[in-house]
């Protein structure tokens, strides 16, 4: 009988209490709390645990979890409650906080202890932990609210990088509810006329002829006004809507393209594709080829702009997919090149057609020998690999002239054309030649 009761309350692997029991203890702590007796909650999520599980197997993963629970327990008082509430998630309930060291200092100790190497089956493994903290009663009056807010704070800690803690605050709650609201509204936006497209041409640096236009998405929200894609694209990625967003962009851009082809038959279309869409489930190849079929657009007239992050999560699949896209005739440009994970491996292994040199190198390049060295290097690599290079974010005639003499093939930026509507595109393309032929 007693064994059964115990089983219902504990996590079988670690012997810690489980989520249900933790909830009950938290409720009890709230009921028993007195005015001068602060209660704190920590939400802990291990960093990189999935890697260990995936590469070393579950048996090793389990041993790591047990060891982690021992290390954490050693930092706590007997009156504290440590629970394992999910795969690699733990919660801590701390009472009597007025009479002991601060919750922040405890969080630091947890981080330090979890970071120490684990020696399991003759292997040395490392881990990290992200911690969200909230306090009763300042940050919530019910167990549900406190757990939710500690979880929100934990996500913020993750965003800061690994091995961080974050204390909940109301600003954070507002930020989150804003994001959740936007996520909901994006569904409506896709069905109504709140989304629109603008196009930014890419020019041959010698002739100043436009050879390609990049499509950029805009969202005019009915109450918040213009929301930048840097804000809503990550939201769409997180809530599984990015595929629908891309399909929307593709459909409307191809419609526009069919129109402009009448006047500019050789102009190609570049579309931004999120790294998330390089995951196996999203069937990118089929979606792209189907859309091309529907609008009778040649695959050679479509380019996708990717960042290197596309190859991080599912490298095998991503390489295969890139090859299939390329075989189908679709071009691939490496976007924001030089930032993020910049790995030359991708250049060697992937069928890339163009390297887009990130704006951060182009801005101020005319005065900055270090940026000049980087761009010269990228241009040399692209020539060696026989792929074209494009300078992004060109804003001044000096930058354009500099990129030209460095041997860059194409340029894009406010100097030549800001992103414009489909209707404005013909004018934006035609004006450039007269205006800037001296700089190039």
Contacts to ligand C2E by CB under 6 A: 200, 216-217, 228-230, 233, 249, 272-274, 305, 335-336, 393-395, 413-414, 419
Stretches 23-31, 289-297, 304-312, 360-368: which one binds Ca ion (CB under 5 A)? 304-312
Phi/psi at 377 (5° precision): -65, -45
Stretches 53-61, 70-78, 152-160, 388-396: which one binds Ca ion (CB under 5 A)? 388-396
Sheet containing 89-94, strands listed edge to edge, beginning at the edge strand earlier in sequence: 81-86, 89-94, 39-47, 128-136, 165-167
- Is the sign of the CA dihedral 189, 393, 434, 410 positive or negative? negative
Q: Which of 336, 352, 387, 389 binds Ca ion (CB under 5 A)?
A: 336
Stretches 121-129, 145-153, 297-305, 430-438: which one binds Ca ion (CB under 5 A)? 297-305
- Judged by CB under 5 A, does residue 308 bind Ca ion? no
Q: Which of 38, 45, 305, 308 binds Ca ion (CB under 5 A)?
A: 305
Q: Which of ligand C2E, Ca ion, none binds 338 (CB below 5-8 Å, type-dependent)? A: none
b/e map of 118-143 (b: 16 or more CB within 10 Å)?
bebeeeebebbbbbbbbbbeebbeeb
> What 3-state class would DSSP assign to 401?
helix
Nearer to ligand C2E, 184 or 418 (CB): 418
- Look up residue 117 and give its DSSP letter: P
Stretches 43-51, 107-115, 384-392, 419-427: which one binds Ca ion (CB under 5 A)? 384-392
Tally Cβ neighbours within 10 Å of residue 427.
Answer: 11
Beta carbon of residue 313, minimum distance to ligand C2E (angstroms, whole number): 15
Beta carbon of residue 278, minimum distance to ligand C2E (angstroms, whole number): 11
CB 305 within 8 A of CB 330: no
Phi/psi at 186 (5° precision): -65, -35
Q: Which of Ca ion, ligand C2E, none binds 230 (CB below 5-8 Å, type-dependent)? A: ligand C2E
Stretches 23-31, 70-78, 143-151, 299-307: which one binds Ca ion (CB under 5 A)? 299-307
Nearer to ligand C2E, 140 or 243 (CB): 243
Q: Pick the closest to residue 361 from 386, 341, 390, 338 (CA basis).
A: 338
Q: Which of Ca ion, ligand C2E, none binds 393 (CB below 5-8 Å, type-dependent)? A: ligand C2E
Nearer to Ca ion, 140 or 393 (CB): 393
Beta carbon of residue 67, minimum distance to Ca ion (angstroms, whole number): 43
CA angle, 98 as apex, 94 and 99 as ends, to 5°?
A: 90
- Judged by CB under 5 A, does residue 335 bind Ca ion? yes
Provide the token pair at 117. 């190497």
Beta carbon of residue 406, minimum distance to ligand C2E (angstroms, whole number): 17
Write down the residue that tokens 């894009």 correspond to.
412
Pattern 207-246, Ca ion, x by CB under 5 A: ----------------------------------------
Residue 52 Cα distances to 14, 55, 124, angstroms? 17, 5, 11
Nearer to ligand C2E, 185 or 336 (CB): 336
- Judged by CB under 5 A, does residue 303 bind Ca ion? no
**Sequence-distant contacts of 430-435: CB under 8 A, at least 24 apart:** 432/201, 432/203, 432/208, 432/210, 433/207, 433/208, 433/209
Q: Pick the closest to residue 268 from 97, 388, 127 (CA basis).
A: 388
Rule CB under 5 A: which residues touch Ca ion? 272, 305, 335-336, 392
């Amino acid at each position: 009988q007693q064994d059964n009761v115990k089983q219902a309350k504990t996590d079988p692997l670690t012997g810690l209490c489980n989520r249900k029991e933790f909830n009950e203890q938290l409720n009890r702590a709230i009921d028993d709390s007195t005015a001068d007796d602060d209660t704190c909650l920590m939400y802990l999520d291990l960093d990189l645990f999935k890697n260990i599980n995936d590469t070393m197997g579950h048996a090793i993963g389990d041993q790591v979890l047990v060891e982690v629970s021992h290390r954490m327990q050693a930092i706590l008082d007997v009156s504290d409650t440590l629970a394992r509430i999910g795969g690699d998630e733990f919660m801590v309930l701390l009472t009597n906080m007025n009479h002991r060291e601060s919750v922040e200092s405890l969080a630091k100790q947890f981080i330090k202890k979890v970071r120490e190497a684990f020696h399991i089956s003759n292997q040395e493994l490392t881990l990290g932990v992200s911690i969200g903290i909230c306090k009763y009663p300042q940050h919530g009056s019910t167990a549900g609210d406190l757990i939710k807010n500690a979880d929100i704070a934990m996500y913020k800690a993750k965003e800061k990088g690994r091995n961080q803690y974050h204390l909940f605050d109301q600003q954070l709650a507002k930020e989150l509810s804003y994001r959740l609201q936007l996520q909901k509204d994006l569904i409506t936006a896709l069905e109504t006329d709140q989304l629109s497209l603008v196009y930014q041409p890419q020019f041959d640096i010698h002739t100043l002829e436009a050879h390609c236009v990049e499509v950029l998405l805009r969202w005019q929200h009915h109450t918040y006004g213009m929301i930048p894609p840097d804000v809503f694209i990550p939201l769409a990625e997180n809530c599984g809507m990015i595929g629908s967003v891309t399909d929307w962009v593709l459909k409307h851009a191809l419609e526009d393209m069919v129109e402009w082809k009448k006047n500019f038959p050789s102009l190609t279309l570049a579309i931004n594709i999120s790294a998330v869409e390089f995951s196996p489930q999203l069937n990118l190849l089929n979606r792209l080829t189907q859309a091309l079929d529907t609008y009778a657009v040649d695959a050679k007239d479509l380019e996708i702009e990717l960042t290197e992050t596309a190859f991080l999560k599912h490298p095998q699949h991503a390489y295969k997919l890139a090859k299939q896209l390329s075989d189908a005739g679709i071009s691939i440009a490496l976007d924001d090149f030089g930032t993020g994970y910049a790995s030359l491996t991708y250049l060697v292994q992937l069928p890339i057609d163009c390297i887009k040199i990130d704006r951060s190198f182009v801005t101020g390049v005319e005065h900055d020998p270090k940026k000049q060295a980087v761009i010269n290097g990228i241009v040399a690599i692209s020539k060696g690999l026989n792929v074209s290079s494009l300078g992004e974010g060109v804003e001044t005639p000096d930058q354009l002239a500099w990129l030209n003499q460095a041997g860059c093939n194409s340029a894009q930026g406010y100097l030549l054309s800001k992103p414009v509507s489909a209707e404005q595109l013909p004018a934006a393309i035609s004006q450039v030649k007269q205006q800037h032929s001296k700089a190039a």
